[in-house]
Structure 1
Amino acid sequence: MKKWLMVIAAVAISAGAFAADGWMTDFEKAKELAKEQKRHILIDFSGSDWCGWCIKLDKEVFSKQAFKDYAKDNLVLVLADFPRDKSKQSSALQKQNEELSKKFGVRGFPTVFILGPDGETVAKTGYQAGGPEAYVTHVKKLIADVKPEK
Structure 2
Amino acid sequence: MKTIIVTIMLVMFSVGIHAQNRLETAKKEAAENNELILLNFSGSDWCIPCIKLHKNIIEKEDFKKLQEDHIITYLNADFPRNKKNQLSTEIKNENAKLADQYNPKGIFPYTILLNKDGKVLKTWEGLPAENALAFSNEIRDLQQKQNP
TM-score (structure 1 length as normaliser):
0.73
SS, match of residue 68 in structure 1: helix
Q: Partners in 2 of 1:106 and 1:71 — Cα distance?
A: 27
Structure with higher RCO (Cα < 8 A, 6+ apart): 2
Distance 1:99 1:58, change over 3 A: same
Which residue of the partner structure matches residue 132 of structure 1? Answer: 132
1:41 matched residue in structure 2: 37
SS of the equivalent of 1:41 reads: strand
CA RMSD of aligned residues (A): 2.3
Shift of 1:55: 0.4
1:100 to 98, 101, 108: 98
Q: Where do 4+ consecutive residues of structure 1 move more than 2 Å?
A: 85-88, 137-148
Unaligned runs of 5+ in 2: 1-20
Deviation at 1:147, TM superposition (A): 9.9
- Give the paired residue count: 124
2:79 to 71, 82, 101: 82
- Residue identity matched to 2:91: L
What is residue 71 of structure 1 aligned with on the other side?
A: 67
For normalisation by structure 2, the TM-score amounts to 0.74
- Measured against aligned partners, the alpha-carbon deviations of 1:54-111 in whole angstroms (never above 9, x if no partner) come to 0011111000011111232110000100011365411111011111101113421000
SS of structure 1 residue aligned to 2:108: coil
User: Max radius of gyration: which structure?
Assistant: 2
Counting aligned pairs with the same residue, the percent is 33
Give 1:131 deviation, angstroms.
Answer: 1.7
The answer to whether the 8 Å contact 1:122/1:143 transfers is no
Query: Which residue matches 1:16?
Result: none
Deviation at 1:135, TM superposition (A): 0.9
